[in-house]
């Protein structure tokens, strides 16, 4: 049984750079993107130790820089390395290097960031080269020992064979010698047609511990002498902590200390978290809520609606022809306004981090989607230099984009800094987690379509009004003020390109940034853009008196990959054959994260407002499928996440605060509401797309379009709970 | 102080009687397989067995749990032999992030104790745990695999 080695918490046991290397081989490699050259020791010899460690017993440890949060890329990345390494897959384990080790070695493991469905697609080239490099060195070591040319040797399943003589040895036996060799300057990767492991739905490497309770998540970290902290940050974003009366809780059981955390938060440190949380709830706190306390969902909606007015300034994200003129002179026009609310990530594991600060060292244990960003946060909050800090990544109880932010890491260090020498585990209550999210941005969209006399779509004006994530989180990525990511799914080109050709097109964004902090929420801007565009495409088809699938197809002649996935779901769901009695269908497609996806749903509606989803078909073209079993799970999971948001989600604002503070008001789909998702893989090869997020874009519009087919009523606002529409 | 029997072993824990069982299990008994998700008995991540019945441990005080047999995910296996639900979970590769799966597995084990061959409707009624990753399809398939074994 393959068993992922859980990231261990004993620091000494987790020094992989030396201990593991001493037992075998670790091979460095050139990073192809301007990173350091082959990492070399002080004497100039090639340092060993980046992607692959081979132990004498033939166990292969594959280093994984990206974070596993359920999406399966830990296993997928290991498959990529193992494919080129030609090792025995049953003897593969994985290990996380720390960001501190990586920085100390000039970022030998590259980017740690695990978001944007990038885990596989943006590291596939260099991790495969890491595997190939190790294979070449291992074969060379065997050839040297046998005094034969390496070209006469081949490797398979961790066994090296000298073909002419039939002699064999194993990776474990030549690892020490291989480690002394200079890595080859260049290695040739396999032709995809020769892949044996890539493309196979092998089981995940981290499953066993997740079934026995042994897997360690951030919330489970234990350190000797550790205390626990509960925190409250000002519930109005932008507000401040004015005062608190710690005398009132000083005698409560287990309480050790009450600390200010920056300008905005207060934390109680106690022996147990339950004591800390109980005392925090009893602590009198006075907030300076500030002007944002006047903001409500209504005031935000009004402000965004003003941005739909063409007279207001807007950034143009995609354009051809003259949409406004074509619309003005058109035979027929269709116009509609849609909206999408704030959404909380609601990871099952609330935010948490454990920090140990001393005068000359600061270390943090946490689940993070971005080890290097967490590391930077530790440096900043501790005030210590890089060589005195590190972050130890543990399993994430869900990420969905939330754990790419480092607010909770920073807080843990700020608390620990006030209690030097004592490890502090900071855990947010679910209520704190819901109130201090980094929310899916809020937007509205006015779309106008225009037809000529023959019902051909001649113009489309897509006017988005609302929040920019980059404005808040990565202002350096704005382009003359414009947020290019706002156009995900409706962009002219690139990894989230619009899939329709319309002779006159105008896609624009009136940026309006309310005070509620936005974040990268699984699918990000693809979510609302796909809902708006795909539901409106359905509206246009009906206005033209055409079948929604046929109407789309006519606009997709120049977008064969978009069309292929749409055709794949149409065929699988039987679009051209009648649905069962009382069952109605909806369809949608989008491109995001470099992949092409489409979805189709079959639903029935009773009493006009009770929806039963009977069947979902979803197709994906990510170029290459590394692990089809995991892709299927990502596709199905995207439907659960997307439909939960559609039916039950939506975070509202009152008095400047988020109103939904737990799963009783921010519900999530259960097993009884979710049908089987029939995933169709249509990998066309030649490119690498992501799979964790794109499908979420088609989940809601497929169901909403089916709802229209069933009822003749168009739903243009999310969530459905606001409109008394529920699961049957 | 509370005297609890967890996974067949006696524990004398220094907790107030109204402490939620979840936190006594996690922080005082040190068994962290049982997870905190919501604290209001909505999500099911903290599901344990009390005398064989699946219960959400965040909503039960230690005083209510005294005198009962408490089983957590760590006590589901018999020695080195995994429970059939755990085995099926591994074979079907059910977990994604895995955080909700301790509770999910405990809920499923209790269901199968009561109904060895549950229908889809039985599953829909009994398994109400939240899984944000969306493993429901694999959960259902794994239950049916066990039932048909």
Model pLDDT for residues A415-472, shown as the tens digit of each residue? 999 999 999 999 999 999 999 999 999 999 999 999 999 999 999 999 999 999 999 9
Which CATH architecture group holds A308-343+439-727?
A: 2-Layer Sandwich (3.30)
pLDDT band at A525 (very low <50, low <70, confident <90, very high): very high
Element (H, E) at A75: helix A73-85
Over the range A553-586, which residues count as b (16 or more CB within 10 Å of their CB) and which as e? Answer: eebbeebebbbbbbbbbbebbebeeebeeebbbb
Gap between the Cα atoms of A200 and A196, Å rounded: 7
Supply the mean pLDDT for chain A: 93
pLDDT band at A50 (very low <50, low <70, confident <90, very high): confident
CATH code matching the domain that covers B84-147, chosen among 1.10.150.120, 1.10.1040.50, 3.90.78.10, 1.10.730.10: 1.10.150.120
Residue written as tokens 């116009």? A335
Task: Report the pLDDT value the prediction gives residue A44, as an integer from 0 to 100.
Answer: 29
B148 phi, psi to nearest 5 deg: -90, 0
Whether the predicted pLDDT of A157 surpasses 60: yes
What fold is seen in the domain B2-75? Ubiquitin-like (UB roll) (3.10.20)
Q: Looking at the partner chain, which of B20, B86, B136 has a beta carbon nearest the beta carbon of A212?
A: B86
Whether the predicted pLDDT of A169 surpasses 80: yes
Put simply, whether B93 touches A (Cβ < 8 Å) is yes
Q: Looking at the partner chain, which of A206, A398, A640 has a beta carbon nearest the beta carbon of B136?
A: A640
Task: Report the pLDDT value the prediction gives residue A41, as an integer from 0 to 100.
Answer: 27
pLDDT band at A1 (very low <50, low <70, confident <90, very high): very low
Q: What is the pLDDT of residues A226-255, one digit of tens each?
A: 999 999 999 999 999 999 999 999 999 999
Task: Report the pLDDT value the prediction gives residue B139, as an integer from 0 to 100.
Answer: 98
Which residue of chain B comes nearest to A662, CA vs CA?
A: B38
Q: What is the pLDDT of residues A265-286, one digit of tens each?
A: 999 999 999 999 999 999 999 9
Task: Report the pLDDT value the prediction gives residue A119, as an integer from 0 to 100.
Answer: 93
Residues of A in contact with B32 (CB under 8 A): 213, 216, 219-220, 222
Residue ranges of the domains in chain B?
Answer: 2-75, 84-147
Q: What is the pLDDT of residues A646-700, one digit of tens each?
A: 999 999 999 999 999 999 999 999 999 999 999 999 999 999 999 999 999 999 9
Per-residue pLDDT of chain B (149 residues; tens, 9 = 90+): 999 999 999 999 999 999 999 999 999 999 999 999 999 999 999 999 999 999 999 999 999 999 999 999 999 999 999 999 999 999 999 999 999 999 999 999 999 999 999 999 999 999 999 999 999 999 999 999 999 98
- A60 alpha carbon, distance to own chain's centre: 28
Gap between the Cα atoms of B61 and B41, Å rounded: 12
What share of chain B in percent tops pLDDT 90? 99
Instruction: Please report the ipTM that was assigned to this predicted complex.
Output: 0.99
Contact call for A348 and B90, based on CB within 8 A: no
Contact call for B38 and A662, based on CB within 8 A: yes
Average pLDDT over residues A180-189: 91
Contact call for B35 and A70, based on CB within 8 A: no
Gap between the Cα atoms of A139 and A30, Å rounded: 19
Put simply, whether A664 touches B (Cβ < 8 Å) is yes
Q: Are B44 and B104 in contact (CB under 8 A)?
A: yes
Residue ranges of the domains in chain A?
Answer: 12-212, 218-290+351-427, 308-343+439-727
Contact call for B82 and A212, based on CB within 8 A: yes
Q: What is the pLDDT of residues A632-646, one digit of tens each?
A: 999 999 999 999 999
Q: What is the pLDDT of residues A297-354, one digit of tens each?
A: 999 999 999 999 999 999 999 999 999 999 999 999 999 999 999 999 999 999 999 9
- A25 alpha carbon, distance to own chain's centre: 32
Contact call for A662 and B86, based on CB within 8 A: no
Whether the predicted pLDDT of A12 surpasses 50: no
Q: What is the pLDDT of residues A374-388, one digit of tens each?
A: 999 999 999 999 999
Which CATH architecture group holds A12-212?
A: 2-Layer Sandwich (3.30)
Interface list for A 668-727 with B (CB within 8 A): 668-672, 674, 676-677
Contact call for B98 and A400, based on CB within 8 A: no
Residues of B in contact with A346 (CB under 8 A): 132
Alpha carbon of B67: minimum distance to chain A alpha carbons (Å): 22
pLDDT band at A179 (very low <50, low <70, confident <90, very high): confident
Task: Report the pLDDT value the prediction gives residue A320, as an integer from 0 to 100.
Answer: 97
- In CATH, what class is A218-290+351-427? alpha beta
Please, which residues have CB within 8 angstroms of residue A584's CB and are 6 or more apart in sequence? A602, A603, A604, A605, A706, A707, A709, A710
Q: Looking at the partner chain, which of B27, B86, B130 has a beta carbon nearest the beta carbon of A668?
A: B130
What share of chain A in percent tops pLDDT 70? 93
Average pLDDT over residues A259-263: 98
Q: Which of A42-51, A510-519, A563-572, A701-710 has the lowest mean pLDDT?
A: A42-51
């Amino acid at each position: 049984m393959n068993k992922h080695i859980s990231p261990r918490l004993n620091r000494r046991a987790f020094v992989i750079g030396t201990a593991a290397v001493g037992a075998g081989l670790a091979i460095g490699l050139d990073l192809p993107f301007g990173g350091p050259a082959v990492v070399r020791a002080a004497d100039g010899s090639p340092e060993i130790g980046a992607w692959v460690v081979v132990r004498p017993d033939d166990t292969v440890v594959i280093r994984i820089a990206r974070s596993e949060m359920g999406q399966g890329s830990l296993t997928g990345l290991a498959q990529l390395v193992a494919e080129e390494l030609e090792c025995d897959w049953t003897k593969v384990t994985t290990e996380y290097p720390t960001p501190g080790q990586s920085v100390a070695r000039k970022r030998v493991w590259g980017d740690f960031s695990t978001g944007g469905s990038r885990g596989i697609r943006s590291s596939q080239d260099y991790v495969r080269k890491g595997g190939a490099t190790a294979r070449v060195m291992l074969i060379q070591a065997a050839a040297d020992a046998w005094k034969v040319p390496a070209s006469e040797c081949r490797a398979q399943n961790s066994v090296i064979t000298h073909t002419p003589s039939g002699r064999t040895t194993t990776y474990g036996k030549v690892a020490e010698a291989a480690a002394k060799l200079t890595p080859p300057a260049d290695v040739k990767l396999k032709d995809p047609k020769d892949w044996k492991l890539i493309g196979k739905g092998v089981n995940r490497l981290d499953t066993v511990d997740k079934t026995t309770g042994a897997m360690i998540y951030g919330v489970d970290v234990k350190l000797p002498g550790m205390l626990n902290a509960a925190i409250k940050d000002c519930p109005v974003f932008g507000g401040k902590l004015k005062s608190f009366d710690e005398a009132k809780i000083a005698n409560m059981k287990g309480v050790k200390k009450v600390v200010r955390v920056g300008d905005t938060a207060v934390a109680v440190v106690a022996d147990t978290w339950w004591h800390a949380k109980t005392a925090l709830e009893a602590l009198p706190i006075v907030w300076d809520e500030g002007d944002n306390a006047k903001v409500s969902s209504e005031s935000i909606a009004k402000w965004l609606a003003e941005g739909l007015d063409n007279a207001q300034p807007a950034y143009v994200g995609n354009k051809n022809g003259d949409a406004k003129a074509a619309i003005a002179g058109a035979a027929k026009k269709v116009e509609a306004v849609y909206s999408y609310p704030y959404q909380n990530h609601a990871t099952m594991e609330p935010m948490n981090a454990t920090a140990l600060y001393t005068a000359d060292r600061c270390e943090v244990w946490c689940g993070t989607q971005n080890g290097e960003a967490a590391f930077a946060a530790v440096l900043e909050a501790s005030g210590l230099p890089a060589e005195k800090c590190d972050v130890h990544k543990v399993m994430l109880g869900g990420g969905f984009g939330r754990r790419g932010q480092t607010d909770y890491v920073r807080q843990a260090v700020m608390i620990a800094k006030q209690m030097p020498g004592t490890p502090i585990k900071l855990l947010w209550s679910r209520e704190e987690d819901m109130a201090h999210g980094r929310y899916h941005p809020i937007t509205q969209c006015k779309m106008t379509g225009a037809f000529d006399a023959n019902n051909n779509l001649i113009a489309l004006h897509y006017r988005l009004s609302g929040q920019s994530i980059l404005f808040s989180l990565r202002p350096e990525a704005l382009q003359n003020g414009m947020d290019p990511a706002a156009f995900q799914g409706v962009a002219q080109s690139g990894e989230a390109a619009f899939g329709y050709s319309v002779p006159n097109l105008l896609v624009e964004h009136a940026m309006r940034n309310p005070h509620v902090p936005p974040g990268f929420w699984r699918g990000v801007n693809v979510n609302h853009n796909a809902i708006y565009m795909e539901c409106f495409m359905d509206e246009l088809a009906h206005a033209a008196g055409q079948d929604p699938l046929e109407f789309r197809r006519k606009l997709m002649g120049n977008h064969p990959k978009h069309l292929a996935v749409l055709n794949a779901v149409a065929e699988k769901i039987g679009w051209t054959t009648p649905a069962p009695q009382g069952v109605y269908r909806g369809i949608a497609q989008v491109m995001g994260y470099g992949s092409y996806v489409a979805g189709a749903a079959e639903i029935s509606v009773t009493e006009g407002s009770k929806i039963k989803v009977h069947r979902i078909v979803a197709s994906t073209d990510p170029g290459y499928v590394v692990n089809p079993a995991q892709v299927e799970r990502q596709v199905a999971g995207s439907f659960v996440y997307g439909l939960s948001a559609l039916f039950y989600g939506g975070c509202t604002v009152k008095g400047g605060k988020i109103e939904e503070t737990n799963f009783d008001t921010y519900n999530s789909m259960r097993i009884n509401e979710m049908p089987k998702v029939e995933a169709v893989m249509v990998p066309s090869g030649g490119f690498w797309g992501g799979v964790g997020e794109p499908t979420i874009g088609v989940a809601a519009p497929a169901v909403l379009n089916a709802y229209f087919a069933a009822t003749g009523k168009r739903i243009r606002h999310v969530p459905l709970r606001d409109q008394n529409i529920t699961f049957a | 102080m509370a005297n609890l029997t967890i996974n067949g072993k006696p524990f004398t824990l220094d907790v107030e009687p109204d402490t939620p069982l979840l936190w006594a299990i996690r922080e005082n008994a040190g068994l962290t397989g049982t997870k905190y998700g919501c604290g209001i008995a909505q999500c099911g991540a903290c599901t344990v067995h009390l005398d064989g019945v699946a219960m959400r441990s965040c909503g039960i005080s230690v005083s209510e749990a005294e005198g009962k047999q408490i089983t957590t995910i760590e006590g589901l296996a018999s020695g080195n032999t995994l429970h059939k639900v755990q085995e099926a979970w591994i074979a079907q590769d059910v977990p994604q992030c895995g955080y909700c799966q301790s509770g999910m597995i405990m809920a499923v084990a209790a269901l199968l104790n009561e109904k060895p061959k549950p229908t889809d409707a039985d599953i829909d009624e009994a398994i109400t745990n939240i899984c944000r990753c969306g493993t429901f399809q694999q959960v259902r398939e794994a239950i049916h695999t066990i039932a048909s074994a």
